[in-house]
A = this chain, B = another copy of it.
């Protein structure tokens, strides 16, 4: 992925992929906002409503499809690309919301995963979709 120099004040935006860290993601999103003087708009509830809006756009992609199998075999390349963009927008607002709330999302998520592991012991919920309070 090429850097976009002129458009972003001469700074490089480097390639991303699955190896990118949450911290790097958070920093790039924060810089995107500060470069545009948008921090004034990015209050917790504004960002939350923006997140809801983006989840709505993901939903629109799936809304008339009936059940969809993993790998999205019935999707066109254009639809897959569109979906990747909308999921990215959800990620951006989620990271930004966590950031302005002063929450280290990586740390919070690590703790929550441990909590989920305890709430859903393998021996009790193997192969069952039952909610933990009904196990």
Contact residues in B for A44 (Cβ distance below 8 Å):
62, 68-70, 72
Copies of this chain per assembly: 4
Nearest B residue to A68 via CB reads B44
Interface of A is mostly: helix
CA distance A108 to B100 in the complex (A): 23
Q: In the assembly, what is the distance between CA of A28 and CA of B44, in Å?
A: 28
User: A-side interface residues toward B, CB under 8 Å?
Assistant: 1, 4, 7-9, 13-23, 25-26, 28-29, 32, 35-38, 40-41, 43-46, 48-60, 62-72, 80, 83-85, 87-92, 94, 97-98, 100-118, 120-122, 125-127, 129
| Ranked 3 nearest A-B pairs via Cβ | A56-B56, A16-B110, A84-B108
